Structure 1
Amino acid sequence: MKERRQFIRIVYQAPATLRQGDFQWNTTLKDISLHGILLSRPDGWQPGGDPAFQVDVVLPQTDVHLTMLAELVDQNNHSLRMKIVNIDIDSISHLRRLIELNLGDDALLHRELEHLADLAEDE
């Protein structure tokens, strides 16, 4: 089977909040990349018809929040897979640093950033 994943994901557990309209769910980030996130499926999960969600991730033992707009791509009984469609400059800076620290390889990070830039140009 061909691997479809284009970005390296890092396993990173952190508390997260999902919002959609008037609804809000507390959940946990399972892994993250420059392009997407994997969250635990929260209790009481009953999303509306809009695929867009506001996601707020709190990095443990810091006051850093990653705030993004994400779209639900896939779900199962345990997880929600989401594509990041918009992220503010502070959040992307923190995310870049988080990935850089976890990859331990600047060349890999730069390749990821170039690929992300290429995707943005194609849209």
Structure 2
Amino acid sequence: MDVTEQRHFQRVPFATGSTVEFRGERHDAEVVDISLKGALLRLTGLTSIQRGDVCAVSISLSNSDIVIQFEAEAAHLRDQLLGVKLLKIDIDSMIHLRNIVELNTANPDQVRKELSFLHCED
């Protein structure tokens, strides 16, 4: 099954700066796309991160002092593209994340459905 067929959450393009921290290493990255359950990041340098590694992701919103922060798991790394699965997020960061996805999608109602799905998951 194709990875995109497995996704339950729509991803939206969203280009902004971010950092990824794991095992004491900090790496700059650029957000490629984002969803309510994860993100695709383009790393700017070499990294030793591997699938399954837990990391802290910080996404800086352009022209703002807002930073979305969450704990994530490395789902895949191909070339310099790192896919992360969201594990833990605080309420303020989740609100900003939801707003980003809603504002950048053609179907905001789908985002609301995805939010209700999140509440049902363990």
TM over 0.5: yes
Partner of 1:34: 36
1:106-117 alignment to 2 at 5 Å? 106-117=108-119
Partner of 2:49: 47
1:91-102 alignment to 2 at 5 Å? 91-102=93-104
- Structure 2 distance, partners of 1:109, 1:49, is 27
Partner of 1:80: 82
Distance 1:50-1:115 versus aligned 2 partners, 3 A rule: closer
Partner of 2:15: 13
In structure 2, list runs of 5 or more residues that go unmatched: none
Runs of 4+ in 1 over 6 A off after TM superposition: none
- Structure 2 distance, partners of 1:22, 1:115, is 33
- The one-letter amino acid of 2:54's match is A
C-alpha RMSD of the superposition: 1.9
- Structure 2 distance, partners of 1:34, 1:47, is 22
Give the count of matched residue pairs.
120
Identity of paired residues, percent? Answer: 28
TM-score by length of 2: 0.89
In structure 1, list runs of 5 or more residues that go unmatched: none
